[in-house]
Amino acid sequence: MKLPSVRSLALVSGILGGAATVTVALGASAVTSPIVLRAGSDRSRLTIPVEIGGVSAPCVLDTGTSTMLVSPALARFAGLARGPAVDEIAPDGRAYRDRSTHLHHFRVGGIALHGLPALISSKLGGLQALCGYDFFAHIPVLIDRDRQRVTLFPPASAYAQLQCLAVDLSMHVPVGSAVINDTLLPGIVYDSGMIGGGALWRGAAARLAQPVALPPASAPAASGLHCGAAATAGFTRGGPSVGIDLCLADRRPDGQNGILETNLPTVHAIAVDYPHHRVCFALGAPSGITSIPPTDALDQNAWTRLNAQHPIPAATPTP
């Protein structure tokens, strides 16, 4: 099994100078009706068209990152200010140096957000962006994976057709429960930007009614991840489940029991409603949409969440 590819979980409130003031400007139509966007795709993940500093770019809808991330190229074309350097220590032991910034002009579907905190991520290439916590905190979203469309500010009636689960957002990522091998486990990060299955802390894995086993030749990564296990996963007890690849972690992934991608074939739609502290699912039999294993290039950057992050001292050379 190849390692899942995961973006950064950044605890940025202190790093980016405290709580930022974000203002939201709505177009006249946005005030009275939902906004439906045609989604793009990045493997099993969906993207939406956004403008950052007047530059158009696809933005991956990523509940697994607790801040907005932009690539260096996008930051350069958009004229973003490069703030203090940030040291990103990934669980795989790799170190990255990013820059803090603010998105003073962010537009999507006729909505303008000003002052969004973000990181210029050294891991992103091309004109790429990841829409994380600060996006979802201001804009509830319905992601229709079957129809490849995204609705901003979905109507209340849309939630009546979904199964809604309460989530803890104190880490700026949604943490709820999931069913792994027929056992309901709390403390699971729901990650819509993840590719490759999931990861489970060994202590949580010991509670499973049906244990998971690693292949005999499985070797741990530098981060203490042991990959190659197979498991079943779902989001509700008695609901549909599907086989996934699973890594076992010696330490709690991001301080939680585990991480599970939401781009499973049994998930037909997902509503991210942070204002009401919930994530809602349209669950059913597996669709033709599959979770595509990451490529070798993505494997090299696997598990690049910001588990430890701090401003780099001024005396430290920066790129």
First to last CA, the chain: 34
- Same domain for 166 and 254, yes or no, is yes
**Angle at 196 (CA atoms; ends 213, 126), nearest 5 degrees:** 155
Question: Is residue 84, in this structure, part of any structural domain at all?
Answer: yes
Across 174-183, b (16+ Cβ under 10 Å) vs e yields bbbbbbbbee
Rounded to an integer, the average pLDDT of 244-269 is 91
Rounded to 5 degrees, φ, ψ at 200 are -135, 130
Rounded to an integer, the average pLDDT of 227-245 is 93
Query: Does 312 score more than 80 pLDDT?
Result: no
Quote helix, strand, coil % in the chain, to nearest 5: 10, 40, 50
pLDDT on residue 217: 64
Rounded to an integer, the average pLDDT of 29-36 is 69
Q: 249 and 199 in contact (C-beta within 8 Å)?
A: yes
**Angle at 233 (CA atoms; ends 227, 236), nearest 5 degrees:** 150
- Same domain for 103 and 222, yes or no, is no
pLDDT in tens, 72-130: 999 999 999 999 988 765 544 466 788 999 999 999 998 999 999 999 988 888 999 99
CA atoms lying within 13 Å on the CB side of residue 195:
23
pLDDT in tens, 172-188: 999 999 999 999 999 99
CATH code of the domain containing 34 = 2.40.70.10
- Same domain for 102 and 189, yes or no, is no
Question: Is residue 267, in this structure, part of any structural domain at all?
Answer: yes
List own/partner pairs for 202-209 with CB under 8 A and 24 or more apart.
Answer: 202/248, 202/249, 202/250, 203/252, 203/257, 204/257, 204/258, 205/248, 207/183, 208/180, 208/181, 208/182, 208/183, 209/181, 209/182, 209/183
Indicate the residue type of 109: G
* R_g (Cα) of the chain, nearest Å: 19
Mean pLDDT (the chain) is 80
Q: 232: domain range?
A: 157-291
pLDDT on residue 120: 94
The secondary structure of residue 105, as a DSSP letter, is S
Closest CA to 207 of 189, 227, 182: 182
- Domains contained in the chain, number: 2
pLDDT in tens, 281-308: 999 998 765 544 443 322 333 333 333 3
- Same domain for 64 and 125, yes or no, is yes
Per the confidence metrics, is the pTM higher than 0.75? yes
Percent of the chain residues topping a pLDDT of 70: 75
pLDDT bin (cut points 50, 70, 90) of residue 9 is very low
Residue bearing the bigger pLDDT, 74 or 217: 74
Q: 39 and 263 in contact (C-beta within 8 Å)?
A: no
Query: Does 28 score more than 60 pLDDT?
Result: no
pLDDT in tens, 155-213: 999 999 899 999 999 999 999 999 999 999 999 999 998 887 899 999 999 999 999 98
Question: Is residue 4, in this structure, part of any structural domain at all?
Answer: no
- Same domain for 128 and 173, yes or no, is no
- Same domain for 87 and 165, yes or no, is no
